[in-house]
Chains A and B, each alone.
Chain A
């Protein structure tokens, strides 16, 4: 500071309570925070990865192996580490799998960058080199990927199954991966090939039974809704039924809340009561007149209606969930009606077979063989609730992967093989650089090795040993070893392409791009300013969230030179 200033009170520039930190220490602490987050998900990678049990403040328990799910539940508050959550969720939305890989990769890039930052390298130099490296890596993945185009449908299906199996490998249901992979491929192939709308695959969870009792419905299935007396008299199976979807209540009830009836003549009373009955009977009659044999409604179907329908051999279900109605609509070609007046025959849908079936302790309504069958439902069975929940997430990942593989039919060998090969290629490229970027590209290449290393660690193998074997295989000049990856079953190395450990190349490309972007974003921050929070009645950004971060509280604060002149005074 200038001489003669010592006595002056300090100058306030920012609002009181503002917390700023800048410089190298701030960057290092951001990196450290990210590393702490990465460490929590690190062990979930791969077929031998462990699961995490997350217990939230509402007492809900989630057991998961899915990177995105864990990251979401961790409720991270650290601003830098938050971006890791973002990449994980973005990966989930974009490709559905590889959510753990992307976080681990981003963390590893930062870890490799850390020593350089500590030595005083300008982060911009690192960022630039990382971006170059990422472009090269993506290009390399594209070069190495094997296209599935031009194969016969039969072949394609078995290839897709392989992809699904690789994904399921790392999940809780890996024991039944073949069974589920087949199911997933079947389900996805039911979808409209143009949109492959994920919402059109329903997953229903029924506790009880074994995993193998799960089954795929070629159409829509939903749990039997609450029903009134008379329901049991209704027929429970139809062939080629006409289906009517409604969005009205078939119940005796006030027509309108704000309507009031005033009578001068007590004799009129009976006529009003009759009128009410007439209204409902009129509605029911119209439903029947439409020729429908199945009536579903999003709103309640009362006991009167239930019996009325039962008498006429019609099946009905009220309070069906909106998503299910939507899928029935899509599958059967019916249009949901909000009124029964002027019912149009074209508004009815149909399917080949309808039946009500006992699944475990529940009864299920199944619509099968739909004409516009662009939908499928997987009914999952399994021991505990958490187990089924996790199986649901696993299947979701597998479905996403198959969808992606269908759209971009290119695969790369998994098991860390592609990472090793890209790493090798990058090292070679690095040597052609004369500037500082040589070091950073090498660091990027080294960071890629984290995937096979972590696979080994999680499987309980000697990572160093396996990694050296892999390096040796990939270094063979004739390229014969380029598909060699970690064999998690034996602890050795294996040609993962031949072993059908495949992943869609899109997953890898997206993971590399996102991880690099996230790492660069964190590296490019040189100052953190936290304004005091405006007064909120209940300030609950909570200690719980802070605790969830483990030891990762490391926002650099204080202790940085050159800031003395900017203190607080009011």
Chain B
């Protein structure tokens, strides 16, 4: 036990009762390392195309079945402060690239684990942290030299090329369907690719999940798909002007409670008539403005519906604010918050809008010319909700990969080849350094081996054999050789288009190293007493 525990002096006396306080290598650093290692261990088995899924039930009883590391750590509700740092690093990766979160966690965990050995050998944490920081900088340098020739430029509109580049990102989530999904994603993205690919907006690629059928039945629809039917009998419109109302389309009523005062019989008789004719006037004005499609953010009154029908307009209700916003964006309409005839500049335009049956569900599909804010939708089919959710995450990763492609198209060899080569070169470089950081650099280099090892382990191969064969191959100068998860034999996977985006790797290595260094530099943990609140449930009270 550390000295001072339980005695009322020092920190203990200074702080409020109930706080927790850990200091020193054994208590704080090793403890943090342990937590990070455990976290990495959970997600590690999900790395790579053969990674396993996790079933996570979150606090709202929602079930996730996924191998997407960012989803797993989000839903895991990690509590430990040091492990949280690692989670933040993964989140940063998710925000920056949208893929490769598992690499951050696994590599970060491995770096910590290796640091533990160094600590045991008597190195000071500062020395390890310094060595790691240096090694990280060098590793990124090495990574840059590993970029495959001729990958810097890419025709971002070439479906085959794009599909080949993003296959890696998708295959790590949904193995077996990556070719098909990569093509779908490529199609969808190219559809909405702006002139300058840097401005590619991932929001323009939507995903709609319709249960039923099989994944091979999935398709890309050019336009926006809304999973609902139109309100009235008009089911399609072409070259239509669109009026969007964020509020309901109905006779306006006041929020303040008011009473209509009727003084004589005539007024009573005309009361509803005037209301009707007023509404008709409004709707006629809308129709006169050339509007063919009326979109409402909330209810469409029955009376209003009647007149909309009468004037042969299509009525669409979109309760989701976000969907409404996207529709506005897609059509170029401005949502009116009050009911009434829209001004010409508020009107949107739809090339074609109509209902379409997709796998038993009636959907409204909005199609637009590319010049008018294109949106494309990937319609996913599959047997279970959980599976569809997972495919959706894979598609999102793919779309993010396309975005990164637009910015930086460089790729490095996949299948752990890049990591192993970094490991080799780093190791050699480290040997030339004098000073204690040499040890740390060596360990940093070793940590990279976790990637090929995990890939092999997750594929049911003998990891030690695979890694040693790889190390041997790299030592002979075959820098592009990685793990073939089918056979376990070292092979140049770049030939089969198994590559990783350079930017994904670069950020992953950087973020993992940063997180590791940050955690290592902590030598004290002080946790104040938790504020009161509902008592946590005891183990017996769990309804499970």
Interface string of B55-72 (1 = CB under 8 A from A): 111111101010100000
Interface string of A278-289 (1 = CB under 8 A from B): 110010000000
In the bound complex, residues from chain B placing their C-beta under 8 Å from that of A531 are 56-59, 75-77
In the bound complex, residues from chain B placing their C-beta under 8 Å from that of A517 are 214-215, 382-384, 387
Interface residues on B, range: 35 or more
Verify if A478 is at the interface (C-beta below 8 Å from B): no
Residues of A215-262 whose CB lies within 8 A of B:
247, 255-256, 258-262
Q: Which residue of A lies closest to B303 (CB)?
A: A338
Interface contact A255-B271, CB-CB below 8 Å: yes
Interface string of B348-379 (1 = CB under 8 A from A): 00000000010110000000000000000000
| A97 → B minimal CB distance (Å) | 13
Verify if A122 is at the interface (C-beta below 8 Å from B): yes
Residues of B60-98 whose CB lies within 8 A of A:
60-61, 63, 65, 67, 75-80, 83
How distant is the Cα of A357 from the Cα of B260 in the complex, in angstroms?
Answer: 46
Choose, from A75-83, A382-390, A465-473, the stretch at the interface. A75-83
Interface contact B63-A341, CB-CB below 8 Å: no
In the bound complex, residues from chain A placing their C-beta under 8 Å from that of B544 are 19, 530
Verify if A16 is at the interface (C-beta below 8 Å from B): yes
Interface string of A500-534 (1 = CB under 8 A from B): 00000000001001110110010011111111111
Interface contact A260-B75, CB-CB below 8 Å: no
Given contacts A93-B211, A541-B61, contact A247 B302 (CB under 8 A): yes
Interface contact A124-B52, CB-CB below 8 Å: yes
> Which residue numbers of A lie inside 8 Å of B, CB to CB?
2, 4-5, 7-8, 11-19, 22, 30, 79-80, 82-83, 86-87, 89-91, 93-94, 121-125, 127-128, 131, 195, 247, 255-256, 258-263, 268, 271-272, 274-276, 278-279, 282, 335-339, 341, 344, 510, 513-515, 517-518, 521, 524-535, 539, 541, 565-566
In the bound complex, residues from chain B placing their C-beta under 8 Å from that of A124 are 50, 52, 175, 458-460
Interface contact A4-B26, CB-CB below 8 Å: yes
- Could you say which of B55, B214, B269, B302 has the most chain A C-beta atoms within 10 Å of its C-beta? B55
In the bound complex, residues from chain B placing their C-beta under 8 Å from that of A514 are 214, 383-384
Interface string of B514-539 (1 = CB under 8 A from A): 00000000000000000000101101
B233, B265, B269: the one within 8 Å of A268 (CB) = B265
- Could you say which of B275, B385, B386 has the most chain A C-beta atoms within 10 Å of its C-beta? B386
Residues of B357-416 whose CB lies within 8 A of A:
357, 359-360, 382-387
Given contacts A125-B460, A521-B65, A521-B387, contact A13 B266 (CB under 8 A): no
Interface contact A15-B77, CB-CB below 8 Å: yes
Interface contact A526-B211, CB-CB below 8 Å: no
Verify if B38 is at the interface (C-beta below 8 Å from A): yes
Verify if B13 is at the interface (C-beta below 8 Å from A): no
How distant is the Cα of A124 from the Cα of B39 in the complex, in angstroms?
Answer: 22
A128, A341, A528: the one within 8 Å of B57 (CB) = A528
Q: Which residue of A lies closest to B216 (CB)?
A: A513
In the bound complex, residues from chain A placing their C-beta under 8 Å from that of B271 are 255-256, 259
Interface contact A83-B384, CB-CB below 8 Å: yes
Q: Which residue of A lies closest to B43 (CB)?
A: A527
| B83 → A minimal CB distance (Å) | 6
Interface contact A510-B213, CB-CB below 8 Å: yes
Q: Which residue of B lies closest to A124 (CB)?
A: B50
In the bound complex, residues from chain A placing their C-beta under 8 Å from that of B460 are 121-122, 124-125
Interface contact A93-B306, CB-CB below 8 Å: no
| B215 → A minimal CB distance (Å) | 7
Interface contact A89-B272, CB-CB below 8 Å: no
In the bound complex, residues from chain A placing their C-beta under 8 Å from that of B52 are 123-124, 524-527
In the bound complex, residues from chain A placing their C-beta under 8 Å from that of B54 are 525-529
In the bound complex, residues from chain A placing their C-beta under 8 Å from that of B265 are 268, 271-272, 274-275, 278
In the bound complex, residues from chain A placing their C-beta under 8 Å from that of B383 are 86-87, 90-91, 513-515, 517-518
In the bound complex, residues from chain B placing their C-beta under 8 Å from that of A128 are 175-176
Q: Which residue of B lies closest to A132 (CB)?
A: B176
Verify if B258 is at the interface (C-beta below 8 Å from A): yes
Interface contact B38-A11, CB-CB below 8 Å: yes
In the bound complex, residues from chain A placing their C-beta under 8 Å from that of B75 are 529, 531
How distant is the Cα of A336 from the Cα of B302 in the complex, in angstroms?
Answer: 10
How distant is the Cα of A381 from the Cα of B54 in the complex, in angstroms?
Answer: 50
How distant is the Cα of A540 from the Cα of B355 in the complex, in angstroms?
Answer: 40
Q: Which residue of B lies closest to A96 (CB)?
A: B360
Verify if B257 is at the interface (C-beta below 8 Å from A): yes
A125, A258, A279: the one within 8 Å of B268 (CB) = A279
Interface contact B272-A521, CB-CB below 8 Å: no
Interface contact B80-A530, CB-CB below 8 Å: no
| A404 → B minimal CB distance (Å) | 10
In the bound complex, residues from chain B placing their C-beta under 8 Å from that of A539 are 543
In the bound complex, residues from chain A placing their C-beta under 8 Å from that of B26 are 4, 8
* A-B pairs with beta carbons under 8 Å apart, 28 shown: A11-B34, A11-B80, A12-B80, A13-B35, A13-B83, A14-B78, A17-B536, A86-B386, A124-B50, A256-B260, A256-B275, A260-B259, A261-B263, A262-B261, A263-B263, A272-B264, A279-B268, A339-B276, A515-B383, A517-B215, A524-B67, A525-B52, A528-B54, A529-B54, A529-B57, A529-B75, A530-B56, A531-B58
How distant is the Cα of A91 from the Cα of B384 in the complex, in angstroms?
Answer: 10
How distant is the Cα of A22 from the Cα of B57 in the complex, in angstroms?
Answer: 14
Q: Which residue of B lies closest to A27 (CB)?
A: B52
* 4 tightest Cβ-Cβ pairs between the two chains A and B: A122-B460, A94-B212, A514-B383, A526-B52
Q: Which residue of A lies closest to B279 (CB)?
A: A339
In the bound complex, residues from chain A placing their C-beta under 8 Å from that of B537 are 17, 532
In the bound complex, residues from chain A placing their C-beta under 8 Å from that of B387 are 83, 517-518, 521
Interface contact A16-B302, CB-CB below 8 Å: no
Interface contact B59-A279, CB-CB below 8 Å: no
In the bound complex, residues from chain A placing their C-beta under 8 Å from that of B543 are 533, 539, 541
Interface contact B458-A261, CB-CB below 8 Å: no
In the bound complex, residues from chain A placing their C-beta under 8 Å from that of B359 are 94
Q: Which residue of B lies closest to A18 (CB)?
A: B77
How distant is the Cα of A539 from the Cα of B59 in the complex, in angstroms?
Answer: 12
In the bound complex, residues from chain B placing their C-beta under 8 Å from that of A87 are 383-384
In the bound complex, residues from chain B placing their C-beta under 8 Å from that of A282 are 269
In the bound complex, residues from chain A placing their C-beta under 8 Å from that of B39 are 13
Interface string of B194-230 (1 = CB under 8 A from A): 0000000000000000011111100000000000000
- Could you say which of B58, B212, B359, B458 has the most chain A C-beta atoms within 10 Å of its C-beta? B212
Verify if B17 is at the interface (C-beta below 8 Å from A): no
| B110 → A minimal CB distance (Å) | 16
Residues of B244-274 whose CB lies within 8 A of A:
257-266, 268-269, 271-273
Given contacts A86-B211, A338-B305, A565-B38, contact A532 B276 (CB under 8 A): no
Interface contact B34-A17, CB-CB below 8 Å: no
Verify if B114 is at the interface (C-beta below 8 Å from A): no
Q: Which residue of A lies closest to B387 (CB)?
A: A521
Interface contact B56-A529, CB-CB below 8 Å: yes
Q: Which residue of A lies closest to B67 (CB)?
A: A524
Given contacts A339-B303, A518-B384, contact A510 B276 (CB under 8 A): no
Verify if B542 is at the interface (C-beta below 8 Å from A): yes
| A400 → B minimal CB distance (Å) | 10
Interface contact A259-B57, CB-CB below 8 Å: no
Interface contact A17-B539, CB-CB below 8 Å: yes
- Could you say which of A261, A515, A535 has the most chain B C-beta atoms within 10 Å of its C-beta? A261
Given contacts A14-B76, A256-B271, A531-B76, contact A94 B262 (CB under 8 A): no
In the bound complex, residues from chain B placing their C-beta under 8 Å from that of A526 are 45, 52-54
Verify if B14 is at the interface (C-beta below 8 Å from A): no
Verify if B42 is at the interface (C-beta below 8 Å from A): yes
| A525 → B minimal CB distance (Å) | 5
| A511 → B minimal CB distance (Å) | 10
In the bound complex, residues from chain B placing their C-beta under 8 Å from that of A335 are 233, 309
How distant is the Cα of A118 from the Cα of B530 in the complex, in angstroms?
Answer: 44
Verify if B31 is at the interface (C-beta below 8 Å from A): yes
